[in-house]
Structure 1
Amino acid sequence: MLDLRRLRYFVTVADELHFGRAAERLHIAQPPLTRQIAALETELGIRLFERSTRNVTLTPEGVQFLDHARQVIDAALSAQTSAQRLASGAAGRLAIGYTSSIPMSRVFSEIVRAFGRRAPEVELSFREVASVEHHRQIAAGVLDIAFGWAATAPLPPELTQRVLASEPLVAAVPSSSDHAARDAIDFAALAHEAFITYPPGQGSALNAALNRLCAKAALTPHLGPTATQVATLVALVAAERGVAIVPASVAALQMPGVRYVPLAGEAPLEQTLLWRTHGASRCALRFVEFAIECAEGVDRAECVKGLETSAQPAQST
């Protein structure tokens, strides 16, 4: 295999057509440079330069080989730059999972949009995945990161979870119901309603929240129909098939026939970020670091600035 250093020496001599000046550019003595060029010629089996006491010129073979040598050097430099950007997390690919209600969260959209501006060379792909699948798919390497809601089940040691934000729980109720006229509602007031939920094995965090609320109110829920998508849950509420307990951000789904009523005095739901404890790529760790900064407000001004850039020029303060 050709020595990249010798190719660089050859290109420098070809540029200067003078061994002395080329040696100065390369910061080496002339005799070692001369020996390296001779070794390259021997390795290739061709003469690259015609030398005289006054002139150095490229041979016809040297002229043709020069183009190849430049391409190899450029490719090597490009590969080195790419590797460095991968190592720093400035480039790469990330597979990001999320549950169906997460994209309506402002935190999610802010993080994704601002990270895209911070690291435009990182390719992001998104996959809607049931929350119970997040652990398995991250551990298996199918996903790098997952946005979800904090569940009560203990976290496996191979995964790390960080709370990004908290959201109040609200009751999605039919507009025709008596509950719709209230500014807030006690959960116990819903005791006689049918609850529209995710099926077992999906939406585990929201189902767990419903179970927690029922346990606190000492009531046994009457379960209505199930759905795998939060939009379908809301549509079933509009169809007067029951009520649903959802994060407040779901109120972005302004569907006719539905009103979102805050639950009085109830603990919020925690939005989380999940990733591999060990073996995560530098790109994934950079995303995690940035997401935490945005969510905590450490770099909030820059995060928000990234969101506003497309609308108007940033103003100095």
Structure 2
Amino acid sequence: MDVDLRKLRYFVAVARELHFGRAAAELHIAQPVLSRQIRALEAEFGARLFRRDRRSTELTEAGRQLLEDAPPLLAAAEALRRRVVRAEGGAGRFVVGFMPGITVTAAVRALRERHPGLAVEVVRTSWAEQARVVLDGRADVSFVRLPVEPRGLVVRPLFAEPRVAALPVGHRLAGGASVTMAELAGERLLQDPVVVPEWRGGSGSAGPRAETVEEKLEYVAAGEGTVVLPSSVAAFYTRADVVHVPVADIAPNRVGLVWAAGRAAPLLAEFAGLATELVDGGRRSPDLVGGSVGGSR
């Protein structure tokens, strides 16, 4: 059976909204058209994907499985489209994604020097987008802060760096050489606790909602709470009203390079080798150097 990607996109929209009307509005199509397309997809799979009544829409077990598997397939199709469009112009182009605080200049410069006719571009990413830019084709490789979901990816660990707590000037802990997680337990964490799995603060992430590092540091400076950052990010966002104190009993942040599993372009392996040697001046931990891990699953 050939999977119709358009119907698959329609399914994902309904599965995420669990409401045909809202999904139809999001897709800019009429609801009866959407319903027919979903019924056609169910017929093609020979499986019921939704349970519907007048009050609710729910995924079946088959629907939950399809929702797990469909997004990577759609992302791969979009990545294919982007790469073909990029190649149509004839000039070679290689795009490198990177997270804030990770310096990639040396590896990018080395690739340009080896391939003078290649346009090597960089794009800044966010925590949510750092791996997605590779899966959907916006970047060929991306420097990420681990962990990332490895599905559909090859992950090359590079180096590790310590993490620090950002505290307002004048805070009771701001003058110490280091702090412990126990000492931070009474603070509000101004970021997703998933990013700091060691967090044991009783107030959890009850502080103000903030997406960017700049926003988080504004709240830190105002005494609203703390954030735990890799040391390179803290150095990049230095400001006079915020102090960065090393956290003594927390695992370092690990940095890696990712690209789409299944791609065999020689430039990928070449750039990965350059990154291993050159990124951040070769600042690598011995236990993080080596071949690819992860991959598709």
Same fold (TM over 0.5): yes
What residue number does 2:102 align with? 105
Aligned residues: 193
* In structure 1, C-alpha distance between the alignment counterparts of 2:144 and 2:157, rounded to whole Å: 10
2:277 to 293, 301, 305: 293
- Residue identity opposite 2:129 in structure 1: E
DSSP 3-state at the match of 1:195: coil
1:208 to 191, 194, 198: 194
Cα distance, 1:118 vs. partner? 4.0
* In structure 2, C-alpha distance between the alignment counterparts of 1:271 and 1:283, rounded to whole Å: 20
2:124 to 117, 123, 128: 128
* In structure 2, C-alpha distance between the alignment counterparts of 1:148 and 1:256, rounded to whole Å: 28
2:225 to 229, 238, 242: 242
Q: Which runs of 5+ in 2 are unaligned?
A: 1-86, 285-297
- Residue identity opposite 1:130 in structure 2: S
DSSP 3-state at the match of 1:279: coil
1:163-193 Cα distance to aligned partner (Å, 9 max, x none): 1110111101101201111010001111111
* In structure 2, C-alpha distance between the alignment counterparts of 1:95 and 1:152, rounded to whole Å: 19
What residue number does 1:93 align with? 93
* In structure 1, C-alpha distance between the alignment counterparts of 2:206 and 2:233, rounded to whole Å: 20
Cα distance, 1:235 vs. partner? 2.8
* In structure 2, C-alpha distance between the alignment counterparts of 1:233 and 1:196, rounded to whole Å: 6
1:278 to 244, 249, 262: 262
- Residue identity opposite 2:147 in structure 1: A
Cα distance, 1:228 vs. partner? 2.4
Bigger Rg over Cα? 1
What residue number does 2:66 align with? none
* In structure 2, C-alpha distance between the alignment counterparts of 1:251 and 1:218, rounded to whole Å: 21
What residue number does 1:41 align with? none
What residue number does 1:144 align with? 140
Give the TM-score normalised by structure 2. 0.57
* In structure 1, C-alpha distance between the alignment counterparts of 2:227 and 2:265, rounded to whole Å: 38
Using a 3 Å threshold, how does the CA distance of structure 1 residues 176 and 118 change in structure 2: closer, same or farther? farther
* In structure 1, C-alpha distance between the alignment counterparts of 2:241 and 2:96, rounded to whole Å: 33
Using a 3 Å threshold, how does the CA distance of structure 1 residues 122 and 110 change in structure 2: closer, same or farther? same
Q: Is the 8 A contact 1:152 1:208 kept in 2?
A: no
Using a 3 Å threshold, how does the CA distance of structure 1 residues 137 and 222 change in structure 2: closer, same or farther? closer
* In structure 2, C-alpha distance between the alignment counterparts of 1:231 and 1:119, rounded to whole Å: 36
1:250-282 Cα distance to aligned partner (Å, 9 max, x none): 232220110100001221010011002222432
Q: Is the 8 A contact 2:188 2:203 kept in 1?
A: no
Using a 3 Å threshold, how does the CA distance of structure 1 residues 169 and 296 change in structure 2: closer, same or farther? closer
Using a 3 Å threshold, how does the CA distance of structure 1 residues 174 and 109 change in structure 2: closer, same or farther? farther
Q: Is the 8 A contact 2:185 2:201 kept in 1?
A: no
What residue number does 2:52 align with? none
Give the TM-score normalised by structure 1. 0.54
